[in-house]
Amino acid sequence: VKRDDCPLDKDELGSRTWSFLHTMAAYYPDNPTDEQKSDMTRFFHIFSKFYPCSVCAEDLQEQLKRTPPQINSQSQLSQWLCIIHNEVNKKLGKPEFDCKLVNQRWRDGWKDSSCD
């Protein structure tokens, strides 16, 4: 059994980071101010320079050039991040996530109340 006070490997770091990023997007404002919009764009660009997995960071920088963050609302940001994550899933041969379900997964809980 692996101890939980050891350094993270790439997959542990990845799943914990996605949890943070999707949760942050889930609580982004519906009507962000201009400052919040520019801060969120800057956040992702800076994040992509320091993410401590070099191949992941390089690919993310390319993704951000091709598909800049959609920062006009919570729903836009969450959908954009879902698409970005799905591109990584595809590259790694993982199943695609249904982006219609993103708020149930990261904010509201599943419709069947299994998260209550």
Note the residues at the interface with ligand FAD (CB under 6 A): 10-11, 14-15, 17-18, 22, 51, 55-56, 59-60, 82, 85-86, 88-89, 92, 94, 97, 102, 105
Which residue lies nearer to ligand FAD by CB, 34 or 106? 106
Which residue lies nearer to ligand FAD by CB, 33 or 114? 114
Q: Quick one: how far is CA 103 from the chain centroid?
A: 12
Q: Quick one: how far is CA 66 from the chain centroid?
A: 16
CB of 55 to ligand FAD, least distance (A): 5
Which residue lies nearer to ligand FAD by CB, 1 or 55? 55
- Tell me the angle at which helices 34-50 and 54-66 cross, rounded to the nearest 10 degrees: 140
In order, the DSSP letters of 93-104 are TPPPP-GGGHHI
Encoding tokens for residue 63? 């993704």
